[in-house]
C-alpha cells in the first residue's frame, strides 16, 4: 500500500471512530467547528449584501433633491420599540445558549421559543409600519411625497431585513424543537444565536439611516 493510500485510510479510520482526524489532520487555525466558521462566513457575506443595499439607498437619497421625509414621531417610537424587542431577544438567545451548554434542554428550548416569539412580535410591528405607509400612498416606484424611488429603497431594505427575521424565527423553532428532542447539540443553538445577533446588528444601522434620517421635521 502506498503512502497516500495509508494516509487516506488513516483519515477515514479517524473519522469513523469519531476522532475527526486527530493526530492526522492539522489543527484548525480558528479553533472552531466548521459549521460555526460557515455561519461566520455567511454573516460577513450577508453584511456586504446589506452594506451594498444601504449604500445604494444612500446613492439614491443623495442624488434626489426631493427625498421624502415622512416618518412621524409615532413611527420613530415604533422603531425604537422594535429595537428594544430585537436587542432583548439577543439577550434571551444568550440565555438559551447558556442553558444548552449546561445541558438544560427544557431551559434552552424555553429561551429559544421566547426569542422566536420576540421575532414574531417584531415582524408584526414591522408589518403595521408597512401598512401605515402603504395606506398613505407609498408604493415601490411612486409616492405622494417626492422622489419615486423612496418606496423601492425603504421596502427592499426593511423587507430583506424582515425576511432574515422570518428565516431566523423558523430556524430557531426547528433548532429548539430538535435540541429538545435530542437530535441537535448545544453548538447548533450557539451557531443560530450568531445569526440572530447579526439580524439585530443590521437593524442597528437600518433605524438611524432609514428611519431617523427621513424623520418629518
Which residues of this protein are in contact with other proteins, per CB under 8 A? 29-33, 36-37, 40, 44, 47-48, 51-52, 55-56, 58-60, 62-65, 73, 76-77, 79-80, 83-84, 87-88, 90-91, 94, 97-98, 100-101, 187, 190, 194, 197-198, 200-201, 204-205, 207-209, 212-213, 215, 217
Q: Which of 137, 125, 135, 100 is nearest to 211 (CA)?
A: 125
Q: Of 10 and 207, which has the nearer Cβ to other proteins?
A: 207
Q: Of 10 and 54, which has the nearer Cβ to other proteins?
A: 54
Q: Of 120 and 147, which has the nearer Cβ to other proteins?
A: 147
Shortest distance, CB of residue 113 to other proteins, whole angstroms? 18
Helix, strand or coil for residue 9?
A: helix
Shortest distance, CB of residue 200 to other proteins, whole angstroms? 6
DSSP sequence for 115-137: HHHHHHHHHHHHHHHHHHHHHTT
How many other C-beta atoms can be found within 10 angstroms of the C-beta atom of residue 160? 15
Shortest distance, CB of residue 142 to other proteins, whole angstroms? 20
Q: Of 23 and 29, which has the nearer Cβ to other proteins?
A: 29
Q: Which of 73, 75, 81 is nearest to 118 (CA)?
A: 81
Q: Of 35 and 136, which has the nearer Cβ to other proteins?
A: 35
DSSP sequence for 84-100: HHHHHHHHHHHHHHHHH
Shortest distance, CB of residue 162 to other proteins, whole angstroms? 19
How many other C-beta atoms can be found within 10 angstroms of the C-beta atom of residue 182? 8
Shortest distance, CB of residue 83 to other proteins, whole angstroms? 5
Q: How far is CA 14 from the centre of its chain?
A: 35
Q: Which of 171, 169, 189, 170 is nearest to 179 (CA)?
A: 189
Shortest distance, CB of residue 4 to other proteins, whole angstroms? 29
Residues 89 and 118: their CA atoms lie apart, in Å, by 6
Q: Of 63 and 134, which has the nearer Cβ to other proteins?
A: 63
| Distances from the Cα of 23 to the Cα of 1, 29, 119, angstroms | 20, 15, 43
Amino acid at each position: 500500500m502506498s503512502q497516500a493510500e495509508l494516509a487516506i485510510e488513516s483519515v477515514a479510520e479517524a473519522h469513523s471512530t469519531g476522532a475527526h482526524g486527530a493526530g492526522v489532520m492539522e489543527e484548525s487555525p480558528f479553533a472552531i467547528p466548521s459549521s460555526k466558521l460557515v455561519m461566520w462566513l455567511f454573516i460577513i457575506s450577508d453584511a456586504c449584501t446589506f452594506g451594498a443595499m444601504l449604500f445604494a439607498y444612500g446613492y439614491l437619497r443623495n442624488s434626489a433633491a426631493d427625498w421624502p421625509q415622512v416618518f412621524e414621531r409615532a413611527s420613530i417610537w415604533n422603531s425604537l420599540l422594535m429595537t428594544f424587542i430585537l436587542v432583548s431577544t439577543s439577550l434571551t438567545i444568550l440565555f438559551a445558549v447558556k442553558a444548552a451548554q449546561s445541558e438544560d434542554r427544557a431551559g434552552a428550548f424555553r429561551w429559544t421559543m421566547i426569542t422566536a416569539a420576540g421575532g414574531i412580535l417584531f415582524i408584526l410591528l414591522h408589518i403595521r409600519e408597512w401598512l401605515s405607509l402603504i395606506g398613505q400612498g407609498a408604493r415601490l416606484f411612486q409616492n405622494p411625497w417626492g422622489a419615486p424611488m423612496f418606496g423601492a429603497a425603504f421596502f427592499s431594505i426593511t423587507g430583506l431585513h424582515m425576511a432574515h427575521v422570518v428565516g431566523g424565527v423558523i430556524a430557531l423553532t426547528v433548532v429548539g424543537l430538535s435540541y429538545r428532542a435530542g437530535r441537535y447539540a448545544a453548538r447548533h443553538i450557539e451557531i443560530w444565536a450568531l445569526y440572530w445577533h447579526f439580524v439585530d446588528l443590521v437593524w442597528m444601522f437600518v433605524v438611524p439611516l432609514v428611519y431617523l434620517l427621513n424623520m418629518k421635521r
